[in-house]
């Protein structure tokens, strides 16, 4: 465990909603800060009521991911921030997975830039600083009018893969947009990387791989690297393509494993041996802890 200067941390209180209790506890432990959990009550009409179990003191760190149900978790996060503001003028907000970050610009005419609204709501609620983990697009951070910092989980994921007995591994990005992420991952792991060429129809959502043959991966283990696995369509298409190249075992690695619907089942059916993600979103694949890098970023 890494311990930080007590003069810096003595006045920190970490509070969390139900969406991120385990991660919030770990962050509090790393910072040697007081931890307060909240109580969630959902009324018959779907309204959420948040109650803090104890009174926070000093600077407050609110920890709350915004994963499905996204709108409900957004409101719950804002409610916690608003409540924290009643006790402190300094409210740091850790949003490990920031829903709506993919809506940071107008892709098709008439689309709302919802990320801009979300950023304004956090400021209005009382947030003074925002911390996110592996945000989908750095452009999303520019919508915040308060200090906003992106923390990467890549090093923590790489540490996990270094412990595995991999056969001449290759890091693969399922699309060109994730090439830099895969390059960084591969560099830290000390292996090669390639990026597949993917096409996604923005209206239908259909995904297809346009890349040619990659004979250099034959018999070698693959680490498919992405920031988010949602429906799993990109990973499924990439795995099916890589299997045709007669590669070795395929691992899927991401920071945020949403795994909507039957995504996990389809990914494994496509030939992926394991899905390894972080605890920004709780779940059985979220085995890599990001609390050390978040704690370090805060101080």
The catalytic residue positions are 198
Pick the closest to residue 41 from 65, 17, 60, 21 (CA basis): 17
Helix (H) / strand (E) element for 281: namely none
* Euclidean distance between CA atoms 299 and 297, whole angstroms: 6
Bridge pairing between strands 222-229 and 250-257: parallel
Separation of alpha carbons 151 and 143, rounded Å: 17
The arrangement of strands across the sheet holding 272-278 comes to 192-195, 170-173, 222-229, 250-257, 272-278, 286-288
* CA-to-CA separations, 122 to 85, 133, 256, 275, 297, in angstroms, rounded: 11, 16, 21, 32, 19
User: Which of 35, 12, 105, 102 has its CA nearest to residue 66?
Assistant: 102
Q: DSSP 3-state assignment of 203?
A: coil
d(CA 105, CA 66): 19
The rounded distance, in Å, linking the Cα atoms of 70 and 145 is 22
C-alpha atoms less than 13 angstroms from C-alpha of 87 in its C-beta half-sphere: 21
């Amino acid at each position: 465990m890494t311990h930080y200067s007590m003069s810096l941390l003595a006045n920190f209180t970490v509070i969390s909603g139900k969406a991120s209790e385990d991660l919030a506890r770990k962050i509090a432990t790393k910072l040697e800060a007081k931890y307060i959990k909240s109580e969630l009550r959902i009324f018959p009409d779907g309204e959420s009521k948040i109650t803090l179990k104890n009174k926070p003191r000093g600077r407050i760190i609110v920890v709350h991911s915004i994963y499905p149900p996204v709108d409900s978790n957004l409101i719950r996060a804002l409610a916690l921030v608003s409540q924290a503001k009643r006790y402190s003028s300094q409210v740091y907000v850790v949003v490990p997975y920031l829903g709506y970050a993919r809506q940071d610009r107008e892709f098709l005419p008439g689309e709302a830039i919802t990320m801009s609204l979300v950023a304004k709501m956090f400021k209005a609620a009382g947030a003074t600083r925002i911390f996110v983990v592996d945000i989908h697009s750095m452009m999303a951070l520019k919508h915040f009018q308060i200090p906003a910092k992106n923390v990467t989980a890549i090093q923590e994921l790489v540490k996990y893969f270094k412990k595995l007995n991999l056969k001449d591994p290759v890091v693969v990005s399922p699309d060109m947009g994730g090439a830099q992420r895969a390059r960084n991952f591969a560099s830290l792991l000390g292996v090669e990387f390639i990026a597949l060429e993917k096409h996604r129809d923005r209206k239908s959502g259909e995904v297809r791989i346009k890349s040619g043959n990659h004979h250099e991966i034959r018999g070698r283990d693959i680490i498919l690297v992405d920031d988010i696995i949602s429906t799993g369509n990109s990973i499924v298409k990439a795995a099916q393509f890589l299997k045709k190249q007669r590669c070795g075992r395929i691992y899927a690695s991401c920071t945020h494993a949403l795994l909507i619907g039957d995504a996990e089942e389809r990914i494994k059916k496509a030939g992926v041996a394991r899905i390894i993600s972080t605890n920004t979103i709780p779940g059985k694949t979220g085995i890599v802890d990001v609390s050390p890098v978040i704690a370090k970023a805060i101080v």
